[in-house]
Amino acid sequence: MSPVTIRAAFSNCLLIVLLAALAAAQSAEQRTGRYLESVRKQPGLLLAFLHEMPKGGDLHNHLDGAIYAEDLIDFAASGGLCVDRTSSRLLAPPCDPCEIYTAKPAARCAYGDHVLYNQMIDAWSMRNWKAGEESGHDQFFGTFDKFGLASHTHVPEAIAAAANRAGMDHLQYVEFMHTADGGSAAQLAGKVEWNPDYAKMRDALLAAGMKDVATETSKHLAADDARAKEIMKCGTSDASPGCDVTIRYLYQVLRGLPHEIVFAQILLGFELASSDPKFVGFNLVMAEDWYVPMHDFNEHMAMIDYLHTVYPKVHITLHAGELALGLVPPEDLTFHIRSSVERGHAERIGHGVDIMNEKDAVGLLHEMAERNVLVEICLTSNDEILGVSGDDHPLPIYMKYGVPVALATDDEGVSRGDLTHEYLRAVESYRLSYTDLKRMARASLEHSFLPGESLWSQTKVVFRTAPSCAADFPGTEKPTSACEQFLAANPRAKEQWKLEGELVKFEKRY
């Protein structure tokens, strides 16, 4: 047999093996999909199935809002904080003793006072919220001022609690939104005269010490991360589930503050994402419908547009379209998402609920699909805050037009949920298939801001592996030498390979 014939025979054999493995993988996925269909109308079994399903990453997760009220009460008690019995707002000590009924008891008093304990949980979350007494919007956003003193002073404990919940929920990656500087950028902004010339304003802030603020912020976060790992007992035989979760941060800009502070925080976000690998991007937060975020929206986009020219490699995700008719005038529903994509350079959009109110909505959908802009879908908070759910929610529209989507928790502690229940809600509301869910889980890592190349060279129609791993079947075997080197050099691809392995193990059950 000639060398050419030998090579041809070998190629044919390799092709047969590849096709057989692909067929096996497809049948495993199909069997799993058939099981989901068989339990679709059995909520308990469906919930168990979705809980065990590997979900990839959570790309829209506010660290403060991710903490359950029970944990926050523990934080407040350990920190010696007090609580206003009327408003449930935490206050600094000194506190009144627990032995008598007072207006300012110590938070620890709630352990022996079930009325106070339950009152605090209800005030710090959406538990027992009733429509009509107060809007879901106001209840939701009002929680943060009440418990903020505990979450801001117990960051390592918050990271550990949120990471552990993610691990138990079969997540492997989370990007926490976190204003990690503790207000230093805002204080720096107060020392510099506002200048609408953004280049000069940036120069003034840098001269005043913005890089020092970035350095100190990184140091504090590194210490908080290290302490969180100690709390979770990482590296020991008693390690908590959160130890297996890869955590990165998005610097969180408070867009409801005066414009000089917003600019300083956006600048700090760009600086941190350029210098600290733990910070993979930034986002603007606070209720989009409040006066300052609405009034200053175009100015905020102009700030980002300028700073993007200075820091073109920094990743950007923006809250946009977390609005509904009646919450703001109709004309204010027509441009936030488009502007965030085109002027704010957003690679991902958080919420995007009012997309069909945008000017040329269908054209924008095509543009987002073409630009590969992912939408972080937060079904529960969209229902609680905006009253938008079911057929009124644009999730099916995004999917119809090929816009990538991934489910996210938003503020799971405030909402009293987790990502499993977001999956459950999506399946029950939109009859999503297992293939739909698997695509969303993969999209969460594909659109993460982890550095490096993707495991996938194609994701639009089918998932095709990158050239370095073209001879491999992710999750089914040890990678080849070339693929192993590729994974080692590309953290995003490495995280994706891990997900594929978890999915293979999950599908083998069915």
DSSP string, 70-133: HHHHHHHHHTT-EE-TTT--EEPSP-B-SSS--SSBBGGGGGG-HHHHHHHHHHTSSTT--TTT
Kindly list the structural domains of the chain, giving each domain's residue range(s) and its CATH number in brackets, ordered by start.
71-135 (no CATH), 152-446 (3.20.20.140)
- Res 164: pLDDT: 98
- Res 3: pLDDT: 52
**Strand pairing partners for 376?**
350, 406
**Rounded distance, CA 406 to CA 415, Å?**
18
CA distances from 463 to 7, 438, 459, 473, 508 (A): 28, 11, 5, 11, 20
- Res 6: pLDDT: 47
Q: The whole model's pTM is what? A: 0.93
Is omega for the bond preceding 474 within 30 degrees of 0, making it cis? no
Which two structure tokens, joined as six digits, stand for 38? 């068989």
Question: What amino acid is encoded at 176 in this protein?
Answer: F
- Res 461: pLDDT: 78
Please say whether the beta carbons of 146 and 124 come within 8 A: yes
Question: What amino acid is encoded at 502 in this protein?
Answer: E
Which two structure tokens, joined as six digits, stand for 417? 């949920």
User: 364 in helix, strand or coil?
Assistant: helix
- Res 259: pLDDT: 97
**Strand pairing partners for 316?**
282
- Res 462: pLDDT: 85
For 392-409, what is each residue's pLDDT tens digit? 999 999 999 999 999 999
Residues of the chain with pLDDT under 70: 1-26
